[in-house]
Amino acid sequence: MFRSFLTLSMGVALASASGQALASPDAEALHRTATAMFSPLPSYVAKEGNPKNDAKVELGKMLYFDPRLSQSGFISCNSCHNLATYGVDNLPTSLGHRWTAGPRNAPTVLNAALHTNQFWDGRAADVEEQAKGPVLNPIEMAIPGEDLAVDRIASMPEYVERFEAAFPNEEDPLNYDNIANAIGVFERTLTTPDRFDAFLEGDLNALNEQELAGLQVFINQGCVGCHAGPALGGQIEARFGVVESYWEATREYIGVDQSTMPMDVGKFAVTHKQDDLYVFKAPSLRNITRTYPYFHDGSVWDLRDATQIMARVQLGNDMSDEDLDALMAFYGALEGEIPAQALQLPILPASTSETERPTMR
């Protein structure tokens, strides 16, 4: 399916090769076009089989911030997906257990529940499945097994009570699946409405003229081929480097000869299918001004450079300065409001067992 999107986006881009931003966009006409391609963010992203309740949201928030879900007792979900910095750590790749650098950039958790799958290679179906991975990953949080994670949480009486309240109809509510389910429900509350949502909902004055021009460029150039839907991305997977090699195109922007570095093969590492070589999930562009550095390897820090690289390697275009100026303005309108409750640090349950305290091993 993603190949049809790419074909469409390349066709639109070539049809507008001059790349001139609109001087005076027609807000009404642009609104009609935009509502066919995008949709406003919901306040909550529901999942059948993991119903929301207040107790589960609060429990998930505690677990999200609790570093005791790591072997060292130092790393939490929030360490790499810091809610105070728009769900990222602003590092090229995150630091995990024993300060080991991970192989890929940590994408934002904000609005991630809207994605059709999780991780850069799409190997997890949803945020609940994703939440299980880093806890057990030896270079991330490094808990040796699910049982230890459950035993550590179960050693704290307050957590036992909170799991019973969050999963009231279950005989044994404190288990590894429900640790992930609670974190997932909390993450499903992390949507960030912005002025673009107001525009989509009918406020034609929500975007200024330069931002409207940027939206028009975004559509005309074909960016929407991969970055559509409510999150402006997260819906499809695509080969990184359709027209030109990504590794070659970035040399002039980041000053590093990436030909000497190991290439990330993307989804191929999961499926071992040739068609998945260098295929990655198209990321969300919500809050893109805050989620630097960019791309799966975190190699590009400047959003203008990242945009030009994408135009070249995916669409075969060099964007004009006028179009880039307009796009930067539009990106600014995608900076949303983080839910207030997510920014209030929870008071975590007290550890009561000396044997269950984390140790660096």
Residue 232, H or E segment? none
- Residue 99 has phi, psi (to 5 degrees) of 60, 25
Give 171-214 pLDDT, tens digit per residue: 999 999 999 999 999 999 999 999 999 999 999 999 999 999 99
Active site residues: 140
Give the range among 14-18, 59-63, 136-140 with minimum mean pLDDT.
14-18
pLDDT at 20 over 80: no
pTM: 0.90
Q: Residue 99, CB half-sphere, CA atoms under 13 Å: how many?
A: 0
Residue 237, H or E segment? strand 237-239
Measured between alpha carbons, how far is 112 from 107 in angstroms, rounded to an integer?
9
The three-class DSSP label of residue 242 is coil
Domains by residue range for the chain, with CATH: 2-41+193-332 (1.10.760.10), 54-191 (1.10.760.10)
**Residue 185 has which token pair?**
């429900």
The three-class DSSP label of residue 118 is strand
Measured between alpha carbons, how far is 276 from 24 in angstroms, rounded to an integer?
42
The three-class DSSP label of residue 279 is strand
Measured between alpha carbons, how far is 183 from 300 in angstroms, rounded to an integer?
30
Give whole-number Cα distances, 75 to 56, 89, 140, in Å. Answer: 22, 12, 8
Measured between alpha carbons, how far is 24 from 212 in angstroms, rounded to an integer?
9
Q: Give the pLDDT band (50/70/90) at residue 14.
A: very low
pLDDT at 127 over 70: yes
Give 232-248 pLDDT, tens digit per residue: 999 999 999 999 888 77
